[in-house]
Amino acid sequence: MQSLAVIFACMAAVSALDIRLFEGRDCKGGTFTCTNVNPNSCCGIPSGGVSSVGFYGILPQWNIECRGHENGRCANTKTIQVAFNTNFKCLNDGPYTGGGYGFRANKARGLGLDKQTSGEQQMPDRFETADGRKYNLAALDTDQLVEFIDQTANGTSLEAYKALEVME
């Protein structure tokens, strides 16, 4: 039984979630994505707001709190919902400027995972339009990302960012 706890601890130590900030409700529409977000870290945009936040890649045995933030990146926690026995969670009470998660104390101890307190914040590294076009945002600095977010929010053409488009 102890070896099972060690296996779960190792799985969780190498697993991180993708957090997607959706323009539409119910985790639909264009999305800003942060890949491989660690516990007690946050994915956020500096300005604007999105309608919903999706958490992808949750291990079913995890008992986590999914958090939606407002007022710029991860400034204030607006919504907290528990996710357990699922691999996905969607928060719909936007507008949000960020999303993060952390392990609930009782489950974290059971898996040998104490809450981390890094407080790391990351900005989205990908954007996907509602019609499926994908952009790699990893090379953008904060000012460039703010401009990109403003253009997507205003429905402005993304032709200026054609070099960032990912062809699959």
Q: What is the pLDDT of residue 142?
A: 87
Q: What is the pLDDT of residue 109?
A: 41
Q: What is the pLDDT of residue 73?
A: 83
In the predicted model, is pLDDT for residue 14 greater than 80? no
Show Cβ contacts of residue 75 under 8 Å, excluding neighbours closer than 6 positions: 69, 97, 98
Q: What is the pLDDT of residue 2?
A: 52
pLDDT digits (tens, 9 = 90+) for 25-55: 999 999 999 999 999 999 999 888 899 999 9
Q: What is the pLDDT of residue 18?
A: 97
Strand partners, 89: 55
DSSP 3-state of 78: strand
In the predicted model, is pLDDT for residue 71 greater than 50? yes
Q: Where are the alpha helices (DSSP H) in 19-130?
A: 105-110
CB 23 within 8 A of CB 123: no
CB 50 within 8 A of CB 80: no
DSSP 3-state of 15: coil
Record the pTM: 0.82
**Residue among 139, 142, 128 at smallest CA distance from 18:** 128
Supply 130's token pair.
């509602």
Phi, psi of 83 (to 5 degrees): -125, 125
Show Cβ contacts of residue 92 under 8 Å, excluding neighbours closer than 6 positions: 25, 26, 27, 51, 52
In the predicted model, is pLDDT for residue 78 greater than 90? yes
In words, the CATH class of domain 2-122 is: mainly beta
96 secondary structure, DSSP code: B
pLDDT digits (tens, 9 = 90+) for 113-153: 333 334 688 999 999 999 999 999 999 998 998 899 888 87
Q: What is the pLDDT of residue 119?
A: 66
Q: What percentage of the chain reaches a pLDDT higher than 90? A: 58
